[in-house]
């Protein structure tokens, strides 16, 4: 060995170590990894040593660490409460190729838990700030931000980790990964599977799950686990309020569109304190009419924005759990496959294997049957699609091939088409020219691919 080169190498390494400790800002984001003695000691013990509880296919080697450091590409969806924790955990555990997607900007109320952000960052895109922070603080880590919608690139990643705040978004992601699966002669090609690790929190409760699309239960298989959102009945809001929440909803849903307090066409913006103040005042008036107490500014904002309480600690726990499968995945048998956490009373965790639904509308590849009598109205079909616990669609668009031509039966998202197709809702399926066994193509925000349903007439 060339002693000179060897010394030079050691000198360079030593200098790097000194630099690190002298000034705290490190040049990140360029892919140059700064290593120092023992940096990955913790992780090494799991990847380079064999053990009695490891995965049967696991072989201790230095390759896994290299893979983690150099090659493994992870996509983190969401840079909010869970996202910040996930990014930090992944970066500190050795993953250097991380991409993060988030279309949101930073709000003051994020700062109690989304610690990659500072008061000076309020208003800036979360993805950008999160990436900057990690890149400048964790040497060698390269986080690439996507502060915009981008869904054409999932296929590049080894693992996808979600910290989303909506079920609709989760279902979309789920559908996206399912659409990437490759089947050869009806057999699933395992290399087309991209594992999805999903987590969610609410106050002191949370859950983490591992989804192997095409193999384990997917989001839609367990849709019933998510309780549908509570909406108060209109008659209660309009004429029979009893709770302060009813008064607030009255102002939000009925009074605001009527009085247009900030001008024509100006929608209620939950983030605008002036808007909330107006709603608050009017809600107080409404409540006074009915002798209802309990309307506060905080409640008003909570109802308008459908705020879910959140703390740093639950996010830390769920991220720790959710990200664990990522590391543990290499050496151990990963979480199988759903874990819930609740620390209201002591600490409670429960792990179970969520089962695939045989006729899951997203992953089973079994065409869904719709059972209706020919005299049922289209409205009934629409109601079923939105209200069924296993489908929970938001605003489905229904098309069918009638007499050889593609016909849009009903579509909500475009006003002109909605108006044109609305009369179809009160027509019967027979009147619309639909026959038994007919296929209906249904699109909705909850799924990236159009779903095919088969109409099955009951007598």
Q: Considering only residues 338-367, where is the footprint of another protein by CB under 8 A?
A: 339, 342-347, 349, 351
- Which 258-277 residues touch another protein, going by CB under 8 A? 273-274, 276-277
Residue 254 has which token pair?
A: 């009925």
- Which 275-334 residues touch another protein, going by CB under 8 A? 276-277, 280, 290-292, 297-298, 301-302, 307-321, 323-328, 332
Q: Does 115 bind another protein (CB under 8 A)?
A: yes
Q: Is the peptide bond before 337 cis (omega within 30 degrees of 0)?
A: yes
Residue of the chain from 58, 105, 109, 418 that contacts another protein (CB under 8 A) = 109
Binding residues for another protein, rule CB under 8 A, total 86
Q: Provide the 8-state DSSP code for 367.
A: P
Which is nearest to 78 in space by CA: 182, 200, 254, 229? 200
Q: Quick one: 145 or 325, whose CB is closer to another protein?
A: 325
Q: Does 111 bind another protein (CB under 8 A)?
A: yes
Residue of the chain from 53, 227, 265, 358 that contacts another protein (CB under 8 A) = 53
Q: Quick one: 35 or 431, whose CB is closer to another protein?
A: 35
Work out the number of other CB atoms within 10 angstroms of the CB of residue 280: 20
Which is nearest to 303 in space by CA: 231, 361, 242, 255? 231
Q: Does 46 bind another protein (CB under 8 A)?
A: yes
Which residues in 349-380 are b (16+ Cβ under 10 Å) and which e? eeeeebebbeebbbbeeeebebebebebbbee
Q: Does 92 bind another protein (CB under 8 A)?
A: yes
Nearest approach in angstroms of CB 293 to another protein is 9
DSSP 3-state of 405: strand
- Which 118-137 residues touch another protein, going by CB under 8 A? 118-120, 137
How many angstroms separate the CA atoms of 72 and 91, rounded? Answer: 12
Task: Give residue 349's region: left, alpha or beta (phi > 0; psi -120 to 50).
Answer: beta
**Residue 360 annotated among the catalytic residues of the structure:** no
Residues for the chain: how many in total?
459
Q: Quick one: 99 or 246, whose CB is closer to another protein?
A: 246
Work out the number of other CB atoms within 10 angstroms of the CB of residue 131: 27
Q: Quick one: 67 or 445, whose CB is closer to another protein?
A: 67
- Which 176-235 residues touch another protein, going by CB under 8 A? 203-204
Nearest approach in angstroms of CB 139 to another protein is 8
Nearest approach in angstroms of CB 163 to another protein is 13
- Which 383-442 residues touch another protein, going by CB under 8 A? none
Work out the number of other CB atoms within 10 angstroms of the CB of residue 231: 9
Q: Helix 81-93 and helix 312-331: axis angle, to 10°?
A: 40
Select which of 141, 142, 154, 235 is catalytic: 235
Residue of the chain from 69, 79, 89, 429 that contacts another protein (CB under 8 A) = 89
Question: Which residues are known to be catalytic?
Answer: 235
């Amino acid at each position: 060995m060339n002693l000179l080169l060897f010394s030079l190498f050691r000198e360079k390494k030593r200098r790097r170590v000194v630099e690190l400790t002298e000034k705290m800002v490190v040049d990140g984001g360029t892919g140059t990894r700064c290593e120092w003695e023992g940096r990955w000691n913790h992780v090494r013990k799991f990847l380079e040593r064999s053990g009695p509880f490891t995965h049967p296919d696991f072989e201790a080697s230095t390759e896994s660490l290299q893979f983690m450091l150099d090659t493994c590409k992870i996509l983190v969806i969401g840079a909010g409460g869970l996202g910040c924790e996930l990014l930090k955990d992944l970066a500190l555990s050795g993953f250097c190729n991380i991409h993060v997607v988030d279309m949101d900007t930073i709000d003051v109320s994020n700062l109690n838990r989304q610690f990659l952000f500072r008061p000076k960052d309020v208003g800036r895109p979360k993805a950008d700030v999160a990436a900057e922070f990690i890149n400048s603080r964790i040497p060698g880590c390269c986080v690439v931000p996507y502060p915009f919608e981008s869904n054409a690139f999932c296929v590049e990643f080894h693992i996808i980790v979600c910290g989303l705040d909506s079920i609709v978004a989760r279902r979309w992601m789920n559908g996206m990964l399912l659409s990437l699966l490759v089947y050869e002669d009806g057999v699933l090609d395992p290399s087309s599977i991209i594992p999805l690790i999903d987590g969610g929190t609410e106050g002191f409760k949370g859950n983490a799950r591992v989804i192997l699309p095409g193999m384990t239960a997917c989001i839609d298989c367990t849709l019933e686990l998510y309780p549908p959102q509570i909406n108060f009945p209109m008659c209660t809001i309009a004429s029979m309020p009893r709770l302060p929440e009813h008064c607030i909803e009255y102002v939000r849903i009925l009074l605001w569109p009527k009085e247009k307090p900030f001008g024509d066409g100006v929608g209620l913006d939950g983030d605008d304190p002036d808007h909330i103040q107006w709603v608050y005042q009017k809600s107080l008036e409404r409540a006074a009419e009915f002798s209802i107490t309990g309307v506060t500014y905080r409640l008003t904002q909570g109802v308008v924005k459908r705020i879910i309480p959140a703390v740093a600690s639950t996010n830390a726990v769920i991220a720790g759990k959710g990200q664990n499968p990522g590391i543990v995945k290499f050496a151990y048998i990963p979480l199988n496959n759903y874990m819930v956490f609740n620390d209201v009373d002591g600490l409670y965790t429960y792990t179970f294997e969520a089962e695939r639904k045989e006729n899951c509308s997203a992953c089973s590849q079994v065409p869904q049957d719709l059972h209706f009598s020919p005299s049922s109205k289209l409205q009934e079909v629409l109601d079923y699609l939105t209200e069924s616990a296993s489908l929970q669609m938001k605003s489905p668009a229904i098309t069918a091939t009638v007499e050889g031509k593609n016909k849009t039966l009903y579509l909500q998202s475009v006003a002109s088409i909605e108006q044109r197709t609305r009369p179809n809702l009160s027509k019967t399926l027979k009147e619309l020219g639909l026959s038994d066994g007919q296929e209906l193509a249904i699109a909705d925000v909850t799924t990236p691919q159009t779903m095919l349903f088969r109409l099955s007439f009951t007598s």
